[in-house]
Amino acid sequence: MNEEAEILFKEIANGDGEALNFIRLWSSYCHTFDDLVDGDTSPTALAFAENQGLFTRLLFCPFFRRYEQDSLILRALISEAHTASEDMRKSSNPRERDWGLFLSHSGNDMLRFVALVTGGEKHLIEMSRKIRELTLKEHYGKE
């Protein structure tokens, strides 16, 4: 994880240590899962075991346990969006590829959820803007 993301994660968590731990785990899980799916990481037994280990740690994370029911629908939507993004990112249609790239970052919605529960609506709005800015910078080379 880079320093800029860590600073943003702390800001999203808004002083809640359990939320910060969850964000770190969520981010690592999403990135390792995506790397396995899109082939950035060789699909070895060790790579799958490491990803499964992150998933298990997420399930027992106190913040996750506290908001498990509240985030259920969001987790289903994120999973569906990411699944849809895989085929779309490989499309010959440029517009569909762009949508696929957009959907591949749907895991960021969980960061927005954390911002909402740790700081309310104004915090959510500010953090959402910062999440978009960092995503554009890191993944699309745009400031």
Residue 142 clears pLDDT 70, i.e. is over it: no
Can you give the residue ranges of every domain in the chain?
Answer: 3-140
The structure tokens listed for 6 are: 């860590």
Largest CA distance in the chain: 45
Does the structure show a pLDDT above 80 at 37? no
> What tens digit of pLDDT does each residue of 84-131 get?
888 888 889 989 888 888 888 888 999 999 999 999 999 999 999 999
What sign for the dihedral angle of Cα 33, 35, 39, 42? Answer: negative
- Does 135 score more than 90 pLDDT? no
Q: What is the pLDDT of residue 69?
A: 94
Residue 35 has pLDDT above 90, yes or no: no
Dump pLDDT digits (tens) for 48-58.
788 788 889 99
* φ, ψ of residue 83 in degrees (nearest 5): -60, -45
Q: Residue 18 above 90 pLDDT?
A: yes
Six-digit token string for 76: 């289903």
Residue 8: name the closest of 18, 22, 23 by CA: 23
DSSP H or E stretch at residue 63: helix 62-66
pLDDT at 7: 96
pLDDT of residue 103: 83
| Type of residue found at 65 | R
pLDDT of residue 102: 81
Task: Tell me which of 84 and 13 has the higher pLDDT.
Answer: 13
Nearest to 85 by CA among 56, 113, 65, 109: 109
Rounded distance between C-alpha atoms, residue 36 and residue 40, angstroms: 6
